Structure 1
């Protein structure tokens, strides 16, 4: 399944770029996206440690498995994706990226990286005059894109008054990137000390781009299963002078609530029962966009991984392709990346070390089961 990548069209002169992917966990999302973009890219190899899993992934795509950067046939590779944890979360992703950049291979790298790692990669890329970019991924997910789109319009035409955000520490950097796009930047930013710890969440107040903001962050990690046990990915509430914009979930709906103002009649009484007033005709919660299948049904989690995430990845890969074929290094985007990383690190410093939790997989409960329990009461 492919998408329209707007104005970014494949270059007839360049043809599909030969690309390798480092990492076979989240890297499989990159591979799905690449497979759906045959006029932009051709997967020519996978770099991994050589586990049975990585061998199976390479075999499924019919490409060689390389156990290190030095094994790569450099002259036969035009680009690389590094989807391996970087040093900030205990991995070697930044080292892999630097090794590729030294071989003059452009790199798209999965978040997050420490500020000094980003600086190292940018210096190496700029010295070689080739692209390097960090992919925060979630701003390209359809629901998040919808939220950003409406936030930009509200910023242009109305007053932004406050933000309330809830997220897991796992996806805190992408949250900062989402807010940066929504607000047109982050500076000046400031964060209070921790206000409270309530259940799994840590509360911090502050400001971004002059807008008051309240953070509710699950600052917890389960070492036995570090990719799971998030209470929520992203939930964002933007309050303005004309209403409230709500991203219900990273993969949920974007809702708009016009600001309630009940008119008064000539005698000064609240005119609550006069349906002729424009306010009374407004729907309380208006769906701006929602993640759905083509048949209009709400998407399943299987679709998130099979379709929605690869579609989001195609957008990032299309931008990466454009950087390579045009030779543009997007200096302004580099500065935005550095700013977002510094903001993320400042907020992380306030939050302090993550709380270690030991968790078992949660019990699966759907709405139908909740309704059945309600009927029993």
Structure 2
């Protein structure tokens, strides 16, 4: 029954739609009890579709509420999210706030929550989605099997997604964000290179330098992409919503033995081993990415927030369930943004769409 479920308020009707999508399938112990938004046609449609009441102010929402998801831009990116989170905490409601959040605000809101026996967490979001979650698990598994850290790590992202990219880097490499140092490296095309170092290891990060002032959520050349290399093989997170691919290194046992033949001795020299494995497929379309993968990620985030340790999704919960991780990650994000220098604002045209079906046919016909 709804009365036995955790009652969650969704604040924000833009990206908040993805949070509501988490309840397209009934959750056994969490239920949305309202949507707070400014009253746009989108907000009315969403409230109606999800059969929840719509409010235009958090003060109008009747209690009790077990928690609120604040999915509105925070103060550092020009929104009211931080003020709304503060208002909800003052009312006695725990808050899960969508990233990014300025480290000073994270500290202040954490202190306010702790003083009132509440929870305040920042959600980096993408760590819970299927492909990034697979990448993190796979990176940890390869390190466990080989006993080795990657010999090379390279990541690419945009300004808009830097916060979540840093989160994925720290989780995949088992880094504490509080110990990561940052320095500039050279520029590569439209990217600023940065070198991240921790635990005597380094990672190269290419950060897109441009944004569109009027449409800041879009025009990322790369959302999230990463590659980790070991002597044993390469783990590649091609794009945010997949695929994730493991590519073993070619090594032939007895390669220098002049009695061995590639075909007759394939099993003995290791040629029957796979050349690669797709660990997570790409989402079939962008709608699936948000309605399926994104929604599943929100469910994982809510479960971890409301009952830490219950979801078992393998994303290094011992570290990430600690609010100190949120603060350290926010400080790292703020530091990297400062090191990277000012954003270069440009007007961007809509990208030319490549017809994937036509592209596939062209490749097939060329191969034939």
Asked if Structure 1 and Structure 2 have the same fold, meaning a TM-score greater than 0.5 normalized by the shorter chain, the answer is yes
Structure 2 residue aligned with 1:234: 224
CA distance in 2 between partners of 1:343 and 1:271 (Å): 53
1:360 to 343, 349, 365: 349
The alignment partner of 1:305 has SS state of helix
Figure out how many residues of one structure are paired with residues of the other and give that number. 354
Cα displacement (A) at 1:111: 0.7
Distance, in Å, in 2 between the alignment partners of 1:61 and 1:276 is: 56
Q: Structure 1 residue 13: deviation in Å?
A: 12
Q: Deviations over 1:287-314 (max 9, x none)?
A: 223246xxxxxx1222112211111111
Contact 2:2–2:31 (CA under 8 A) maintained in structure 1? no
Pick closer, same or farther for the CA change 1:197–1:287 going to 2, 3 Å. closer
- Find the partner of 1:320 among 305, 328, 335: 305
* 1:1-377 correspondence runs (5 A): 15-73=4-62, 75-157=63-145, 158-160=147-149, 161-186=151-176, 188-198=179-189, 200-262=190-252, 263-266=254-257, 275-291=266-282, 299-322=284-307, 333-370=322-359
Partners of 2:18 and 2:290 within 8 A in 1: yes
Aligned to 1:6: none
Q: Secondary structure at the match of 1:29?
A: helix
Q: 1:118 to 1:50 in 2, by over 3 A?
A: same
Inter-partner Cα distance in structure 2 for 1:119 and 1:195: 33
Closer/same/farther in 2, CA of residues 204 and 271 from structure 1, 3 Å limit: farther
Distance 1:367 1:29 in 2: 25
Unpaired segments of 5 or more residues in structure 2? 311-317
Residue 139 of structure 1: how far off its partner (Å): 0.6
DSSP 3-state at the match of 2:279: strand
Matched position secondary structure for 2:221 = coil
**CA distance in structure 2 between the aligned counterparts of 1:155 and 1:213, rounded to whole angstroms:** 16
**Aligned residues of 2:195 and 2:205 also touching (Cα < 8 A):** yes
| TM-score normalized by the length of structure 1 | 0.85
Shift of 1:244: 1.3
User: Could you say what the CA RMSD is over the residues aligned between the two structures, in angstroms?
Assistant: 2.8
- Report Cα offsets for 1:223-266 as digits up to 9, x if no partner: 22222111111111111232211111111122112223344333
Cα–Cα, structure 1 residues 272 and 164, in superposed 2: closer, same or farther, change >3 Å?
farther
Q: Which runs of 5+ in 1 are unaligned?
A: 1-11, 293-298
282-291 or 41-50: which moved more? 282-291
Q: Secondary structure at the match of 1:319?
A: helix
Structure 1 counterpart SS, 2:227 = strand
CA contact (8 A) 1:17 1:42 kept: yes
